Amino acid sequence: MHSFVSCLIHCVWSTKERRRLITPELQERLYPYLGGIARDNKMKALAIGGVEDHVHMLLSVPSTLSIAKAIQLIKGNSSKWIHETFPEKRLLEWQEGYGAFSIGISAVEETFAYIKNQKQHHRSRSFKDELIAFLDKHGIEYEAWMLD
């Protein structure tokens, strides 16, 4: 029998020191580029969004790629591209860590809408509060120092 895998991951990561450097103009170019990195590495980016200090991606990850490797490829390649393409964005670096939360197929539409609605969502909630909510929802233990 052939192997069949459905691995849907809602990924989120921040800029280093939560610097608000992902301007709307950069977002217009960055999000398609992130999708291209995913595609080039046999992943599917189902949704990409965020605000000035962080990015969300809904990824379909193949069985041949670990989640850690998938995030490494996306963050590493995009960082290199940003620095080469936008020299004025040299202060834009990704935070070392990330969040990766599994979702079921029944939650794809809800997650897609959540990612696409980031600007409105973050009018009333900080990235840190958002991350804590994800960690609590998924039963992931953490210490306060881990959130910085």
Distances (CA, A) of 66 to 63, 92, 111: 7, 26, 21
The pLDDT of residue 13 is above 90: yes
CA–CA separation, 22 and 78 (whole Å): 12
Q: Largest Cα–Cα distance of the chain, in whole Å? A: 52
DSSP type of residue 6: -
Residue 40's identity, in one-letter code, is D
Which residues are registered as beta bridge partners of 94? 15
Predicted TM-score (pTM) of the model is 0.91
- Tell me, what's the pLDDT at 67? 97
Phi, psi (deg, nearest 5) at residue 9: -130, 130
Mean pLDDT of 73-90: 95
**What is the rounded end-to-end Cα distance, in angstroms, of the chain?**
45
What's the confidence (pLDDT) of residue 19? 94
- The string of pLDDT tens digits covering residues 56-73 is 999 999 999 999 999 999
Which are the contacts of 135, defined by CB distance < 8 A and separation ≥ 6?
A: 99, 141, 142
Separation between Cα atoms, residue 61 and residue 43, nearest integer Å? 5
pLDDT at 120: 85
